[in-house]
Amino acid sequence: MDSIQTRLLRSLYSTPPGAWPPHLEQLSGHLGRLCPRWQNQLEDYEQPPAPIEEFILSPLYLGLKGNVYPGVLATIKAIFDDSYNEAVLCWGIGAGKSFLSSLSIAYMLHRALCLRDPQEHFGLAPGSTICFMNMAPSAQQARRVVFTEIRNRIANSPWFHSPFAQAEVLKTELRFPKNIVVVPGCSAETFPLGYNVLGAVVDEAAWFIETEEGKDYAEEIYNALQRRIRSRFLDRGLVILISSPRHTDDFIERKLREAESNPKIYASRQPVWQVKPKSIYCGKTFEFQGMQVPVEYEADFKRNPQRALRDIAARPTDALEPFFTDPQVIEAACDATLPPPFDETGRWRADLHVPDKLPRYVHIDLGIKHDACGIAMACCRSAQEHPDEPEVVVELAWRLQAPEGGEVNLSRVRQLVVDLRRRGFNIAQVSYDGFQSVDSRQILQRQGFQTKLVSVDRDLSAYETLKELIHTGRLRMPLYEPLLRELRGLELVRGRKVDHPPRGSKDVADSVAGAVSEAVRAWGGGEITGHVV
């Protein structure tokens, strides 16, 4: 509805029903006859809802003229286009996501409160409660958004002080006339159950708990909200997902990819500087990965480029706190001339050549519940420039995936080790992590192999050895994409442990770290020397 029509309808409702001037009574009836949609609005609404821009800027409503970033205003206008029932916003930290969240819920409230009988309008039983919900990773965060941002919006709005819109502020909700409430949620996927949810904002959707078993609480909450909305309101509800990115496969990133093929989802990825007014920047920029970034952020990108990329530019990284802060050093360690041990059918290459009799160290990492297995083999040679220092070659890095619903065949893994020896490799040691490896180690011992229990998770030493070799150019490894993907995604957790991101893996990376560190240990009787980057 355009602004002229809106102002006309509002003038019709600026006085109580039955007290309109005769010419407006006649005009309203004439408009209703000309357009059934207008007639429906005249019948359903106690007063017509304001257009979103007027609701935000006009002193009759929120009165925020001059206090809203143009990028925020343009985005919220697009979200409330009737063609969308979902919105996904991946914005940098400080771009105004929580502010936009409060504006969205306030406007959804306004539209519902303008109805004469919201329950009848939406086909609910008389007296049913209609709920708008703000979800966050913690209940404390959700309450802070609801009772600061949203409460501040309505507290300073003349419209929300009218008798039919005035809120009752309770400890756990904001209660409005016509059985309409705003409730702060939490990270429990069962929280929306029992509510007639018409609209919801999921704040920081990428930062909910993700378990190693693949459970993402943000996705669970989203599904629960959509079930509540669609079962009661069909496609007339709205869910808004707002977050800065966390990693390349977090929930907000998956929803952005879904939006590419779903026209009902509004999607936006914005770095901070594209949302904030240009006037706050000096105008000078520097280039970072193809982006022209205001110089005001140059120090952030120099100090921690991965974090700045994620938090300021709204671009996800493979890891939250990357163990390898410069992914290019990983690619530089790859040697495309190292032949893969297997052919396209997964069988040993017929032309596989054993170049020497140097001792090889094999490390095997068995995944949880045997869903995958990483196996690697490494050997040490004297570095050309410094013969007293080792150069390590990873000759084998492989990931064995369990079949659907099954487990990795552990006998096949042991057979790979036997085959390596049969083909001429001098297998000095076979090590396993501690996960259910006793039986395999005993079997290999009976076949003449030296075995050892090695855990790369116990401390950082194995991965620090691997990192030092990579940074000093003393490691060669095959160009094997599963290995590269895992190394890029490694996270340093509280400075004490190397882990994979949620929904990720490190089976091959662990096997390489174990094989490399054991080869280096045998070379010099200990860890390598030098500064660990």
What tens digit of pLDDT does each residue of 279-299 get?
999 999 999 989 999 999 999
User: How many degrees, rounded to 5, is the angle at CA 495 between CA 493 and CA 499?
Assistant: 30
* pLDDT value, residue 407: 80
* pLDDT value, residue 40: 57
Find the mean pLDDT for residues 237-251: 89
CA 425 to chain CA centroid, Å, is 44
Q: 196 near 124, Cβ under 8 Å?
A: yes
The position carrying tokens 């000759």 is 395
The position carrying tokens 């095959």 is 478
* pLDDT value, residue 146: 61
Q: Does 502 have pLDDT greater than 50?
A: yes
How far are the Cα atoms of 410, 416, 417, 430, 440 from residue 443, in angstroms, in the given order? 11, 13, 12, 12, 5
Lowest-confidence segment of 113-122, 191-200, 521-530 by average pLDDT: 521-530
* Residue 439 CB partners (closer than 8 Å, separation 6+): 410
Answer with the residue of higher pLDDT: 99 or 37: 99
Predicted confidence band of residue 220 (pLDDT cuts 50, 70, 90): confident
What angle separates helix 461-471 from helix 507-524, to the nearest 10 degrees?
Answer: 80
> What is d(CA 225, CA 214) in angstroms, rounded to the nearest whole number?
20
Chain segment 187-208, per-residue pLDDT in tens: 555 565 678 999 999 988 888 8
* pLDDT value, residue 35: 56
Q: Does 11 have pLDDT greater than 90?
A: no
Chain segment 28-83, per-residue pLDDT in tens: 555 445 455 555 555 788 888 999 999 999 999 999 999 999 999 999 999 987 78
* pLDDT value, residue 233: 87
Q: Does 214 have pLDDT greater than 80?
A: no
**What secondary structure does DSSP assign to 123-143, as a single string?**
TPPTTPPEEEEEE-SSHHHHH
How far are the Cα atoms of 34, 266, 431, 457, 458 from residue 454, in angstroms, in the given order? 81, 49, 6, 9, 9
> What is d(CA 204, CA 474) in angstroms, rounded to the nearest whole number?
41
* pLDDT value, residue 514: 94
Q: Dig out the tokens for 425 from the structure.
A: 């490799």
Chain segment 120-141, per-residue pLDDT in tens: 999 999 989 999 988 888 777 7
* pLDDT value, residue 369: 55
Answer with the residue of higher pLDDT: 524 or 135: 135
Q: If we measure between CA atoms, which residue out of 65, 60, 12 comes closest to residue 161?
A: 60
Q: Does 8 have pLDDT greater than 50?
A: no
Query: Following CA atoms 346, 348, 351, 353 in sequence, which dihedral angle do they give, to the nearest 10 degrees?
Result: 130
Query: What structural domains does the chain harbor?
Result: 1-48 (no CATH), 49-275 (3.40.50.300), 281-311 (no CATH), 328-524 (3.30.420.240)
> What is d(CA 162, CA 148) in angstroms, rounded to the nearest whole number?
21
* pLDDT value, residue 82: 73
Q: If we measure between CA atoms, which residue out of 271, 246, 296, 292 comes closest to residue 69?
A: 271
Average pLDDT, the chain: 83
Q: 437 near 366, Cβ under 8 Å?
A: yes
What angle separates helix 410-422 from helix 438-446, to the nearest 10 degrees?
Answer: 30
Chain segment 426-483, per-residue pLDDT in tens: 999 999 987 678 889 999 999 999 999 998 888 788 888 898 899 888 999 999 999 9
* pLDDT value, residue 37: 52
Q: If we measure between CA atoms, which residue out of 241, 261, 238, 260 comes closest to residue 251?
A: 241
Lowest-confidence segment of 332-336, 362-366, 368-372 by average pLDDT: 368-372
Predicted confidence band of residue 212 (pLDDT cuts 50, 70, 90): low
Percent with pLDDT over 90 in the chain: 42
Classify 521 as helix, strand or coil.
Answer: helix
Handedness of CA 101, 104, 107, 108 (dihedral sign): negative
Rounded to two decimals, the pTM is 0.62
Predicted confidence band of residue 4 (pLDDT cuts 50, 70, 90): very low
How far are the Cα atoms of 121, 220, 228, 229, 262 from residue 234, in angstroms, in the given order? 13, 19, 9, 7, 17
* pLDDT value, residue 15: 43
* pLDDT value, residue 527: 45
